[in-house]
Amino acid sequence: MALAVLMGTLMMAQERFSTIRGVVKDASGSVIPGVSVTLLNSETGRPNSVETNDTGIYIARNLEPGRYEIRFEKTGFARVDLKEVSLSLGRETTADAVLEIGATQQAVQVTEAAPLIDTGGVTISSNVTAEEFNLLPKARSFQSVVLLSPGVNSGQIEGGFQINGASGAENQFFVDGVSTNSLVDGRSRQNGAFEFLQEVQVKTGGIDAEYGGALGGVVSAITKSGGNQFHGEAHYFYGGSGIAAGPVERLLLLNPYSNAGVNPSYQQDSKNPNNQHEFGGSLGGYLVKDRLWFFSSYSPQFVRRENTYLFSSGTERDTIENKVTSQQLFNKASWNAAKNVRVTASWLWTPTKNTGILPAYNGYGNAVISSKAANAPLKTQGWTQPQSNYSGQVDWTISSTSLLSFRGGRFWDNFRTWGIPTTASVTYQTSSVGIPDVPANLQQAAGYLNTPRTQQTFYDITTRTYFQGDFSKFLTGFLGSHDIKIGAGVQKNVNSVDVSYPGGGYVWVYWGTPLNIPGGGTDGGKYGYYEVDNTGTRGGTGGRMVNMYIQDHWRLTPRLSLTLGLRTENEHVPSFNRAVRDDAFSFGFSQKLSPRLGLSWDVTGKGKLKVYASYGRYYDWVKYETSRGTFGGDFWTVKYRALDTTDVFSLSGVNMPGRNIWPFGDYEDRRLASFDAVAKDLKPMSTDIYNAGVEYMLSNSLVVRAGYVRNHLVRTIEDMGALVNGSETYIFANPGEGDAKKFATSTATPVFDTPKPQRDYDALELSINKRFSNRFFASANYVYSRLYGNYAGLGNSDEIRTPTTGTSSATTQQSGGSIARPGSTGSRAWDLDQYLFDAHGNFVTGRLATDRPHVFKAYGSYKFKWGTDVGGFFYGGSGTPMSTVVMQRQRIPLFVEGRGSMGRSPLLTQTDLVVGHELKFGETKRLRFEFNAQNVFNQKTSRHTFNQLNRGNASGDPASALDLTNTNLFNGYDYLGMLKSIASTGKDPYDPRYGMADLFNPGFTGRVMVKFVF
């Protein structure tokens, strides 16, 4: 045999490219210098050429992922051609060749498949290529394939994607190397259609030092490039109500804050028209053959919805139309500026425009409590979200073993609204029905309003700009071989924002209800009381972060490899009031030292059995919600006034008749800026991740893996609160450390040692993967895990607001809020001492709200000979823990019986299916028809249970809330007795929805596609 091929993979932490290397020898085993190695991309036809050095080694870096043909040539030896070599994103593939004496014109072709075992690397990753995701069921953006990876769960409770126990705000998402996370709260912000993507990778362990800012995983989407052949496609997608199930059930309770709210029920809303059309195309090719290439793609999507409403609790019929236009325009240019210099530049433009806001149903059937006139402004309200992603890279191949790269990019993200009425929104929090002297037209149920409560966003602009330089060098001769990479870069982040409510704030009216004063007592007016909440964000700021790293992939022997890396960062977190303070706080290089260590052993020396282990410390990039919320951007004042007038719809932030009934001043301040309340020894949030496992290759296309993962939270940053004159004041600290070792109490509890944050994820992962061969590919994995502690993370799954509450967690740069609280260092955790205890005097700890002990996934696709293919994905996971909570005066949820006291939500299963058929026209043209079905069995499984025992939820019902001001929490408290005491006053404090399912998995949705490929 003329060629001995050894394939392995070694993670190079390249965000956009792949690497291949090898050694070329003759039949006697001597190395051959000066061998020409040509790598031809099978899809684009673009060649890359390198030569072996004096030791017979060649290395080609920064290659675009895909399939390649490799040709080895040297005068006096027979040429060797290696076919079908797959290069995956961020991985190094090794191909060693043996050349035999002969004429160069003689060629030996080798077609063996590359083994799947990476004998030299420790990174745990899942790579989904275009060949695979084109045959799998999925949504329209790359995030939809992230769930395929072991250790990943997703949903509204998770707040996005939870990777290895880390919350949805603690991952990094990259498109062509540019971070597309929300600068404010860490969510993934930019979509990418599969038509212009080459590969999607999810790293979940053993991540190299090049990466920072991720406590869970790193998701990278890599775009396609043009080549020496013209290729393209034209497509059309349709999805909508015609091929989808009806909406999920809606849990309804009218008058939830009064004794009248006693009969919760499930409502099945009608299926309203909803049509989604998307058409577009892609084209790639060359402008100058072998020198200059391009790839362009455009795919606009048009969504048209119509909801029919019965306003005024069913007496006024009307229809509101919603129009959404989303566009995705992608352009990329690639240029071989010189033989050893390559340049790439790309631009992704993803604007969205929405006209017409659809209010949620809040009555029986398709009814809405408020009037037709009150909702009329929603027809012309709207928002727009322009986004742009720019990136560029220059690669200079200095020698056959050295590469210098410079890259930069920018993600620009904005959100703004229009058409918001200038009048203040006034909403009944309790019913006015039956209250004496209230005019008949004003006697309405809770939830009645004059105009929907909507923030007006004049602008909320974030930009993330980075520049990075990297140098890579391959060395031999010192205790084996070294693949060394060093780099440094700078990132500049900016946020400018102007968000507020019209009329100086929104108004909540509590008819017939007095205000419960903290510490005891009540007050109110003739008709009750009202509050005016003036809340929003204004200002502009920016911060800088510098990073440096070094990484060595060190092969000590052919069977033993070490991965040694170190990353460090200098991070400046800005204030929103530069006149007071430039930086809110900062972390120096010495505070963010991030080691990355790993070991990999080829047990048999044959590349079929590998044992590996790794450790890494990973630091968070502080979200700008911190700058906004704690250091001068956010404002939130609440004014409480006696209600002595029935002219409630004239109330606003500038018209507040009635006596001030807040005894601690003119207002309660819920967003006191804390410029001088930063712990002097503040440390960055970090986690330690450990991986260990074994991989075994059963055949050339089948690999099994067993691995252990531990993700241990080292520390977090949180605002720790106390009550001062009824308002919450904070210190920004690491709970349980430094200035925050002791907790300042707001009850009769003596000062105590602050519990440190705990979040430990331990998991056993079992997987089997078959790569594409014999017409099919498949993968299955099972994860047995435990997520345990007292802290959910930056995305807080302990603060859940389901649709039945009529509220949601405020979320930046989007219309409407979220079910789970988005990424924040200012959640309710550690806000008051009451949050930390259960009702029995114990600190609250246990399995966290997104813990799923058993998760099984399977996916794959089969291609039939006659052109039909069938692909599927199955997900099955344990339910999540449910815990009884009781709300107290400051709207903090109390885990009165600890975590998991209500058992778990039901087992969650979902099956997705795709069926396609292709008609071929010649060698390169084909017409594809496809039907994509999400949740094909229409399993609308409950994902959450209403778990608040007393009325009020996050919107607050002070009359039903507990007041623990005079309680020693170590002694526990009788919360049931307290609720009974409230009930004895004639107020029913119990929420009848307690224990009922209130959030459901979406039902079946279908999508058809027609695509012409050429």
3-state helix, strand, coil in the chain (%, to 5): 5, 50, 40
> Which residues contact residue 980 at a Cβ distance below 8 angstroms, ignoring those fewer than 6 apart?
none
Identify whether the C-beta of residue 403 lies closer than 8 Å to the C-beta of residue 471. yes
pLDDT at position 726 is: 65
How large is the average pLDDT for residues 5-21?
A: 51
Backbone angles phi, psi at 599, to 5 degrees: -140, 135
pLDDT at position 669 is: 87
How large is the average pLDDT for residues 630-658?
A: 95
Q: What are the sequence ranges of the domains in the chain?
A: 18-114, 279-371
How large is the average pLDDT for residues 461-467?
A: 97
Determine the Cα–Cα distance for residues 2 and 667; give it in Å rounded to an integer. 84
* Cα angle for residues 363, 366, 371 (degrees, 5° grid): 65
- Which has the closest alpha carbon to 72: 123, 44, 110, 42? 110
Determine the Cα–Cα distance for residues 969 and 834; give it in Å rounded to an integer. 7
- Which has the closest alpha carbon to 328: 304, 305, 302, 306? 302
Which one is predicted more confidently, 670 or 919? 919
> Which residues contact residue 245 at a Cβ distance below 8 angstroms, ignoring those fewer than 6 apart?
271, 935, 938, 940, 1003, 1004, 1005
pLDDT at position 511 is: 94
pLDDT at position 671 is: 80
Identify whether the C-beta of residue 756 lies closer than 8 Å to the C-beta of residue 769. no
What's the full length of the chain, in residues?
1014
- The stretches of 618-732 forming alpha helices (DSSP H) are 625-630
CA distances from 238 to 567, 1002, 1006, 1009 (A): 46, 18, 9, 7
Q: What is the dihedral of CA 10, 12, 15, 21, to 10 degrees?
A: -80
What pLDDT, in 10s, does the model give residues 94-116? 778 888 886 555 555 554 555 56
Six-digit token string for 577: 């009031």
pLDDT at position 780 is: 97
Determine the Cα–Cα distance for residues 55 and 96; give it in Å rounded to an integer. 13
692 forms bridges with which residues in the sheet?
613, 708
pLDDT at position 102 is: 67
Determine the Cα–Cα distance for residues 846 and 791; give it in Å rounded to an integer. 10
* Through-space distance between the first and last CA atoms of the chain, rounded to whole angstroms: 38
pLDDT above 80 for 931: yes
Greatest mean pLDDT among 43-52, 84-93, 141-150, 673-682: 141-150
How large is the average pLDDT for residues 678-693?
A: 96
Backbone angles phi, psi at 373, to 5 degrees: -65, -40
Determine the Cα–Cα distance for residues 635 and 538; give it in Å rounded to an integer. 8
Determine the Cα–Cα distance for residues 440 and 689; give it in Å rounded to an integer. 63
Q: DSSP characters for 618-635?
A: EEBPPPTHHHHHHTTSEE
Q: Whole-number mean pLDDT of the chain?
A: 92
Burial of 992 (0-12, 13-18, 19+ CB in 10 A): middle
Residue type, 828: R
* pTM for this model (two decimals): 0.90
Six-digit token string for 663: 């005894």
Backbone angles phi, psi at 460, to 5 degrees: -145, 85
pLDDT at position 956 is: 58
Determine the Cα–Cα distance for residues 515 and 663; give it in Å rounded to an integer. 11
Using DSSP's 3-state secondary structure scheme, residue 514 falls into coil
What pLDDT, in 10s, does the model give residues 752-771? 999 999 999 999 999 999 98
Long-range contacts of 471-476 (CB under 8 A, 24+ apart): 471/402, 471/403, 471/404, 471/405, 472/61, 472/402, 472/403, 472/404, 472/405, 473/401, 473/402, 473/403, 474/21, 474/57, 474/59, 474/401, 474/402, 475/401, 476/55, 476/57
Helix (H) or strand (E) holding 983: helix 975-983
pLDDT at position 39 is: 87
Determine the Cα–Cα distance for residues 171 and 217; give it in Å rounded to an integer. 5
Determine the Cα–Cα distance for residues 431 and 446; give it in Å rounded to an integer. 4
Greatest mean pLDDT among 29-33, 58-62, 244-248, 923-927: 244-248
Q: CATH number of the domain at 18-114, please?
A: 2.60.40.1120
Which one is predicted more confidently, 157 or 68? 157
Six-digit token string for 296: 């362009």
What pLDDT, in 10s, does the model give residues 180-230? 999 999 999 999 999 999 999 999 999 999 999 999 999 999 999 999 999
- Which has the closest alpha carbon to 703: 3, 19, 220, 119? 119
How large is the average pLDDT for residues 229-254?
A: 96
- Which has the closest alpha carbon to 423: 509, 504, 502, 507? 502
Sort residue 450 into left (φ over 0), alpha (ψ -120 to 50) or beta: alpha
pLDDT above 60 for 8: no
- Which has the closest alpha carbon to 801: 900, 944, 941? 944
pLDDT above 90 for 741: yes
Determine the Cα–Cα distance for residues 327 and 351; give it in Å rounded to an integer. 6
Q: What confidence category does residue 306 fall into, taking pLDDT thresholds of 50, 70 and 90?
A: very high
Which one is predicted more confidently, 118 or 985? 985
pLDDT above 60 for 3: no
Which one is predicted more confidently, 481 or 954? 481
pLDDT at position 417 is: 97
How large is the average pLDDT for residues 423-437?
A: 94
Residue type, 408: G
Tokens 């001068």 map to which residue?
632
pLDDT above 70 for 247: yes
SS (H, E, C) 908-934: EEEEEEEEEEEEEECCCEEEEEEEEEE
How large is the average pLDDT for residues 813-823?
A: 92
pLDDT at position 5 is: 35
* Cα angle for residues 177, 172, 133 (degrees, 5° grid): 70
Determine the Cα–Cα distance for residues 190 and 659; give it in Å rounded to an integer. 49
- Which has the closest alpha carbon to 417: 383, 448, 386, 393? 383
Rg of the Cα atoms in the chain? 30
How large is the average pLDDT for residues 677-694?
A: 95
How large is the average pLDDT for residues 425-435?
A: 93
pLDDT at position 97 is: 83
- Which has the closest alpha carbon to 601: 552, 563, 652? 563
- The stretches of 353-471 forming alpha helices (DSSP H) are 372-375
Q: What percent of the chain clears pLDDT 70, i.e. is strictly above it?
A: 96
pLDDT at position 34 is: 84
Looking at 115-119, 157-161, 207-211, 307-311, which range is the least confident one? 115-119
Handedness of CA 936, 870, 140, 799 (dihedral sign): positive
pLDDT above 90 for 955: no
Six-digit token string for 139: 């949504």
